[in-house]
């Protein structure tokens, strides 16, 4: 399952970033970043319940959640504030959209694998 999740997240995040790079406003990125932590907790609880007592799956899920938490903090506390200061910085915008894509893909993966 872990390999499938990694592959799914990589493909989905890349596709999202390619589609949305020039279509998201700073305000949309900020709104997503501000709500992402709450969503991550909700999705993680659902995933943890679905995994039951499978220690390997729970360990893998915990590793994904640590990476997800780091991306949320990076987006919310680093990239979005930097974009507010330097609105025309294409490198920052690219990094922010890629982080958002990763977060969004992890949410989708958790929803998908819970079913």
CA distance 43 to 80: 23
pTM of the model: 0.90
DSSP the chain: -HHHHHHHHHHHHHHHHHHHTTT--HHHHHHHHHHHHHHHHHHHHHHHHHHTT-HHHHHHHHHHHHHHHHHHHIIIIIIHHHHHHSTT-HHHHHHHHHHHHHHHHHHHHHHHHH-
Q: Which residues of 4-32 are buried (b: 16+ CB within 10 A; e: fewer)?
A: ebeebbeebbeebbeebeeebebeebbeb
Q: What is the dihedral of CA 89, 94, 99, 103, to 10 degrees?
A: 130
Domain extents in the chain: 2-114
Instruction: Return averaged pLDDT per consecutive 10 residues of the chain, 115 residues in all.
Output: 79 89 92 97 95 93 96 98 96 95 93 80
**pLDDT value at position 1?**
56
**pLDDT value at position 54?**
93
């Amino acid at each position: 399952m872990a390999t499938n999740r990694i592959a799914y997240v990589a493909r989905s995040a890349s596709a999202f970033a390619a589609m949305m790079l020039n279509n998201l406003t700073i305000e949309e990125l900020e709104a997503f970043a501000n709500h992402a932590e709450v969503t991550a907790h909700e999705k993680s609880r659902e995933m943890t319940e679905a995994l039951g007592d499978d220690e390997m799956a729970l360990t893998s899920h915990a590793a994904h959640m640590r990476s997800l938490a780091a991306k949320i903090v990076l987006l919310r506390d680093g990239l979005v504030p930097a974009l507010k200061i330097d609105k025309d910085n294409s490198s920052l915008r690219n990094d922010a959209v890629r982080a958002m894509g990763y977060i969004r893909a992890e949410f989708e993966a958790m929803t998908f694998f819970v079913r």
